[in-house]
Structure 1
Amino acid sequence: MRFKKELDFVHLSKFFYIFSIALTVMGLVFLATFGLNYSVDFKAGSNVDVALSKNITVEQIRSAISGIGIDSEPTITQGNQRVNIRYDEVLTDIPDAKLKSAILKLDDKASFEINTVDTEMAKELARNAIYAVLISCIGIIIYVSIRFEWRFALAAIVALIHDSFVVVAVFSIFRLEVDLTFIVAVLTIIGYSINDTIVIFDRIRENLRFGKQKTYEDLKLLVNKSVSQTLMRSLYTAFTVFIAAFFLLILGGASIKMFSLAMVIGLLFGAYSSIFIASPLWLLLKKRQKVSVKSNPAKI
Structure 2
Amino acid sequence: MMNFAKFGNELYSGKRSFDIVGNRRRWFAIGIGLIILSGLLVGIRGINPGIEFRGGSEFTVSGISNPDPQLAHDALAEVNSEQVARVSTVGSSAIRVQTEELTDAETDELADLLAEAYDVPTADVTSSFVGPSWGADVTSKAVQGLVIFLVLVTLVMALYFRRWSMAIAALIALLHDLIVTIGLYSGVGFEVTPASVIGFLTILGYSLYDTVVVFDKVRENTEGVLDQSRYTYAEAANLAVNQTLVRSINTSVVGLLPVASILFVGAFLLGAGTLRDIALALFIGMLLSTLSSIFIATPMEVVLRQRDPKIAAHTAKVLELRERRVAEAEEDGLTADEVLAEARAGGLVAGRHLGQGAQPRRKTKR
TM-score by length of 2: 0.74
CA deviation after TM superposition for structure 1 residue 219, in Å: 1.5
- Give the 3 Å change call, closer, same or farther, for CA 76–53 of structure 1 in structure 2: closer
1:193 to 194, 207, 221: 207
Tell whether the 8 Å contact from 1:51 to 1:82 is kept in structure 2 after alignment. Answer: yes
Gaps of 5+ in 2: 267-271, 315-366
- Using the alignment, how far apart are the partners of 2:189 and 2:52 within structure 1? 16
Partner deviation per Cα, 1:90-132 (whole Å, 9 max, x = no partner): x333222222222222322573454422121111111111111
Give the residue type in structure 1 aligned to 2:309. Answer: K
CA deviation after TM superposition for structure 1 residue 169, in Å: 0.7
Question: In structure 2, what is the equivalent of residue 60 of structure 1?
Answer: 71
Give the residue type in structure 1 aligned to 2:29. Answer: I
Give the residue type in structure 1 aligned to 2:95. Answer: V
- Give the 3 Å change call, closer, same or farther, for CA 15–85 of structure 1 in structure 2: same
Tell whether the 8 Å contact from 1:155 to 1:278 is kept in structure 2 after alignment. Answer: yes
- Using the alignment, how far apart are the partners of 2:291 and 2:129 within structure 1? 39
- Using the alignment, how far apart are the partners of 2:119 and 2:71 within structure 1? 11
- Using the alignment, how far apart are the partners of 1:216 and 1:48 within structure 2? 69
SS at match of 1:176: coil
- Using the alignment, how far apart are the partners of 2:136 and 2:107 within structure 1? 24
Pairwise CA RMSD? 2.4
- Using the alignment, how far apart are the partners of 1:255 and 1:150 within structure 2? 38
Q: Does 1:81 align with 2:100?
A: no
Q: Does 1:238 align with 2:252?
A: yes
SS at match of 2:307: helix
- Using the alignment, how far apart are the partners of 2:250 and 2:94 within structure 1? 37
Question: In structure 1, what is the equivalent of residue 191 of structure 2?
Answer: 177
Q: Does 1:226 align with 2:245?
A: no
Question: In structure 2, what is the equivalent of residue 120 of structure 1?
Answer: 133
Give the residue type in structure 1 aligned to 2:149. Answer: S
After the TM superposition, which residues 130-209 of structure 1 pair with which residues of structure 2 at under 5 Å, given as runs? 130-148=143-161, 149-209=163-223
SS at match of 2:282: helix
Q: Does 1:290 align with 2:309?
A: yes
- Using the alignment, how far apart are the partners of 2:265 and 2:187 within structure 1? 24
- Using the alignment, how far apart are the partners of 1:221 and 1:58 within structure 2? 58
Tell whether the 8 Å contact from 1:234 to 1:271 is kept in structure 2 after alignment. Answer: yes
Give the residue type in structure 1 aligned to 2:206. Answer: Y
Tell whether the 8 Å contact from 1:249 to 1:261 is kept in structure 2 after alignment. Answer: yes
After superposing the two structures, state which structure 1 stretch, 7-16 or 19-28, moved more. 7-16
- Higher Rg of the two aligned structures: 2
Partner deviation per Cα, 1:47-66 (whole Å, 9 max, x = no partner): 32333330142223322343
CA deviation after TM superposition for structure 1 residue 211, in Å: 4.5
Partner deviation per Cα, 1:206-228 (whole Å, 9 max, x = no partner): 11225446679521221121112
Question: In structure 1, what is the equivalent of residue 110 of structure 2?
Answer: 99
- Using the alignment, how far apart are the partners of 1:61 and 1:177 within structure 2? 19
Aligned length: 294
- Give the 3 Å change call, closer, same or farther, for CA 49–11 of structure 1 in structure 2: farther
- Using the alignment, how far apart are the partners of 2:133 and 2:160 within structure 1? 40
Question: In structure 2, what is the equivalent of residue 47 of structure 1?
Answer: 58
Partner deviation per Cα, 1:197-256 (whole Å, 9 max, x = no partner): 000101111112254466795212211211122122222222212111111101132322
Question: In structure 2, what is the equivalent of residue 298 of structure 1?
Answer: none
Tell whether the 8 Å contact from 1:12 to 1:276 is kept in structure 2 after alignment. Answer: no
Tell whether the 8 Å contact from 1:163 to 1:269 is kept in structure 2 after alignment. Answer: yes
- Give the 3 Å change call, closer, same or farther, for CA 151–77 of structure 1 in structure 2: same
Q: Does 1:19 align with 2:33?
A: no
- Using the alignment, how far apart are the partners of 1:213 and 1:27 within structure 2? 44
Partner deviation per Cα, 1:23-72 (whole Å, 9 max, x = no partner): 11122223234431111111121232333330142223322343235742
Partner deviation per Cα, 1:159-188 (whole Å, 9 max, x = no partner): 000001111111222322111111100100
Tell whether the 8 Å contact from 2:222 to 2:237 is kept in structure 1 after alignment. Answer: no
Gaps of 5+ in 1: 296-300
After superposing the two structures, state which structure 1 stretch, 134-143 or 213-222, moved more. 213-222
TM-score by length of 1: 0.89
SS at match of 2:52: coil
Tell whether the 8 Å contact from 2:181 to 2:285 is kept in structure 1 after alignment. Answer: yes
After superposing the two structures, state which structure 1 stretch, 277-286 or 91-100, moved more. 91-100
- Using the alignment, how far apart are the partners of 1:116 and 1:104 within structure 2? 18
